[in-house]
Amino acid sequence: MKRVIIDTDAGVDDALALIFALRSPELFVEAITTVSGNVHVDLCTQNVLRVLDILRLPSPPPVARGEEKPLSRTLFTAPEVHGEDGLGGVHSIRNNLGDLKYPEPPLEAIEISAPELIADKVGKYDGEISIVTLGPLTNIARAINHKPATMRSLKEIICMAGAFRTYGNTTPVAEFNAYVDPEALEIVLDSGIPVTFVPLDVTERVCLTEDCVAREISPLGTKLSEFVVDLVQGYMKYHKETTGVPGCFLHDPLAVGVSIDESVVELVEGYVQVETAGKITRGMTVCDLRSVPCVKRAPNARICTEVDSERFLRLFLSRIRG
C-alpha cells in the first residue's frame, strides 16, 4: 500500500480524483491538502470536506487548508469550468422538499497549515510518501522552502500539470496548474525530488462520456453515484461547448491512476523547465523530447506521453462502483 498526500484545488475532476483515491486499496491517503486554484482555498477546503462527507469513511484523512494565492502572482481561477462553488453548482442543488441536497458537511479542517502538514508527514514517513498534486504547486513549494532537507526525502511528486506536445488549456501554450503558479513549479523542478508529469498530452485522451455516465454510474442508485452524476453535469456542458467533446476529461483522476498503477501510461525521462518570465508564454512547460535533443541535460522529471485510456477507465469506474 502506497502512502500518499493529495494536494488539490478541489474542482470537479479533483472531486472525482479524491473519490477514486479514497476507494482504492492500493493507496493509503495520509492527508488531503487544499490550495487556491480552480476556486479560492476556502471553497476548496469546503469541497474536500463535502466529498469526505459523501463517502462516509470510518477514518477520514486529515484535511489542511493551504495557500490562498500563488507565491508571487495574483490568483487566477476557473469558475467558468468548475462553477462558482468549484463543484459544478452542487452546493445549491435542492431536493424535492426544497432542502439543500448536499448541506454543509459536519467535518472540519485541522488547524495546522497545508505546507506544515506536508512536511510533517514526509518527515514522519521518510522515503515513503508520494504527493499527488491536482492543482497549482504552491503548497509544495512552500514546504520545500520551509524544510528543504525533509522534503528531499519524498518518494515522488506526481503532478497533473503541463502540456508538452499539445496546446495548453489556459493559453495556447500553458496548462492551468502550471499557469497559475509557475514559480512554484520551478521550485519543485529545481528541488531534486523525483517528479512525474501527467500532462494534457495524456489527460485529454481520457474522457468520461455522457453515455458512460448514463450506462455505468446513474443505474447504481447510491448516494455517491447520484453525487457524481450531479457533479459532472456542468463540467460536461462546458466541455461540449468549448471542445465538442460529449463528456469531460479526467485530468486529475488520471494522476491518481498513475499513482495506483503507472503501467497505464508510457513514460519518458527529460529535463523540464517552466516559463516564469515570458510575456505570452507564462506557465509553458518545455522539454526537448526529440530522440536527439539539441542540448543534453540530466533528466529532472518523467513525463507521461501515452495512456491506455480504456484500461484506465475500467479501473476508474470499478472504484466508483465500489
Cα 26 from Cα 203, distance rounded (Å): 21
Q: Cβ neighbours of residue 118 under 8 Å, at least 6 residues apart?
A: 5, 7, 31, 33, 64, 131, 139, 140, 143, 151
Burial of 17 (0-12, 13-18, 19+ CB in 10 A): buried
Q: Which amino acid is at 49?
A: L
Among 82, 91, 239, 251, the one annotated catalytic: 251
Q: Find cell 508529469 and name the residue.
A: 197
Cα 233 from Cα 218, distance rounded (Å): 12
No. of helices (H) and no. of strands (E), the chain: 13, 12
Q: Are strands 207-209 and 195-197 parallel, antiparallel or unpaired?
A: unpaired
Q: Which amino acid is at 152?
A: R
Active site residue 251: yes
Give me the residues paired with residue 265 across strands.
307
Q: Which residues have a catalytic role annotated?
A: 251
